[in-house]
Amino acid sequence: MSTLGGWQPGTFYLPRLEYSELPLAEDRGVGWKTLRDAGPVVFMNGYYYLTQREDVLAALRNPKVFSSTILQPPSDPLPVIPLAFDPPQHTRYRKILQPYFSPTGLSKSRPVLQRHATEMIGALAGQGKCEVMADFARLYPFQAFLDLYGLPLEDRDQLIAWKDAIVGDKEYLTMAEVAAGQVELLEYLAKAIRQRRENPGSDMLSRVMTGPGDFTDIELLGMSHLLILAGLDTVTAIIGFSLFELARRPQLRGELRDNPRQIRVFIEEIIRLQPPAPVAPRIVTEFVNVGGMTLPPGSQVRLCMAAINRDGSDEWSTDDLVLDGKVHRHWGFGGGPHRCLGSHLARIELTVIVGEWLKQIPDFQAPTDYVPEIAFPSKSFALKSLPLRWG
């Protein structure tokens, strides 16, 4: 790792760091501060990381210059919808999909999400202990997805296995295993799309398919594929971080039980502090000046949303929970036109889960020697494990 502290405002300095050496595994606050302190632009492993709030927000709001098309593999015909498209194509996709992922559009799904949380947490409550990540957090988002899509719940573990083969961080996974997982998942989704074309129902896939957007089968396949690979592990991660914070804060557990409306504030703070997808990849389309240097077209950048969420530029952008009864702005779900489409679904799921956990398992703890560590480097940030005990 390069020597830090060389950057001073008003001077140009491009530090070169090694991403894997950042102290993010043990303490995200220290890790992101290390990056912010290094400079406004930090070169790591072939990418330019933007670390300052003004630069990150300007890039998020300017897809013409900071393009998301880098997320579309050039040799892959499957469209990464809507993430890898810039306006105007992205605008069309968002306009079509937004009604289904809005609070109003998801209101009818809340009972389904509540039922899964109630049943799954109820099954754990009598055991007196669990490993949260394996026993609950990894499972719930996929179970909820299958129900929302009108697919058999018994397919849950197979769906997770395919996802892990494609994007998981397991060691020693062969290319053949990755390819097999990809093919089998796409075949599974293509079959579901064919069935809905022949016999549409009331599930989300059918409603998108028969709605005003006139999505093609390949567009539906790309949207569904992205939702599984990028939209479910994020909820898994936030479940883990939420329950860890509650495990070590008995007073907070009591406050949230007494005033469930504050659960939403708590959830937003966890997302601010521990966003599962902490950086946003972009590619520069024209010469642009950032942090005192000029990036040429084709430069690959990483927008450090997690770093600006903790930058101390206002009283609520701190390294600790700010629970003053207000929901403060943050960029845990990104920003600009590419702000996370599934953010409202995630909020409903997490609010339901925390409320139900506190109801059925009101007092719980992690072992005294437990270390809340994430796998790093990793495609997403989530606790490796979270053992809890109660009763």
Q: Are the C-beta atoms of 113 and 142 separated by less than 8 Å?
A: no
Q: Tell me, what's the pLDDT at 173?
A: 57
Q: How does DSSP assign 48-94, residue by residue?
A: EEE-SHHHHHHHHT-TTTEESGGGS-TT--S--TTTT--TTHHHHHH
Q: Would you say the pTM of this structure is higher than 0.95?
A: no
For residue 154, report the phi and psi dihedrals to the nearest 5 degrees. -70, -10
User: At 106, which amino acid appears?
Assistant: L
End-to-end CA gap in the chain: 46
Q: Please, which contacts does 348-351 make with residues 24 or more away whose CB atoms are closer than 8 Å?
A: 348/103, 348/106, 348/109, 348/110, 348/113, 349/113, 349/117, 349/140, 349/141, 349/144, 349/235, 350/235, 350/238, 350/239, 350/242, 350/267, 350/270, 351/263, 351/264, 351/267
Distance, in Å, from the CA atom of 293 to the CA atom of 216, rounded to the nearest integer, reads: 43
Q: Answer for the pair 309, 275: CB distance below 8 angstroms, yes or no.
A: yes
Beta bridge partners, 44, equal: 17, 47
Residues of the chain with pLDDT under 50: 1-7
At 383, list the tokens.
């606790």
Selection from 21, 10, 13 nearest residue 42 by Cα = 13
Please say whether the beta carbons of 306 and 251 come within 8 A.
no
pLDDT of 391: 86
What pLDDT sits at residue 213? Answer: 86
Neighbours of 252 (CB within 10 A): 16
Question: Could you read off the pLDDT of 54-112 as tens digits, one per residue?
Answer: 999 999 999 999 999 999 988 888 999 999 999 999 999 999 999 999 999 999 999 99
Q: Cis peptide before 88, with omega less than 30 degrees from 0?
A: yes
Q: Please check whether residue 163 is in contact with residue 141, taking contact to mean a CB–CB distance below 8 angstroms.
A: no
**Rg (alpha carbons) of the chain, rounded to whole number:** 21
Closest CA to 65 of 333, 379, 294, 222: 294
Nearest to 344 by CA among 116, 147, 100, 114: 100
Lookup result for tokens 């939702």: 227
- Distance between CA 171 and CA 260 in Å, rounded? 41
The sheet carrying 41-44 orders its strands as 16-17, 41-44, 47-50, 300-304, 279-284, 66-67
| Alpha carbon separation from 90 to 83, 202, 272, 334, 337 (Å, rounded) | 8, 26, 25, 15, 8
CA 46 to chain centre: 23
Q: Provide the token pair at 330.
A: 């943050």
Among residues 187, 154, 167, which one has the least CA distance to residue 228? 167
Contact partners, residue 354, CB within 8 Å, separation at least 6: 242, 243, 246, 256, 263, 266, 267
pLDDT tens for residues 281-298?
Answer: 999 999 999 988 899 999
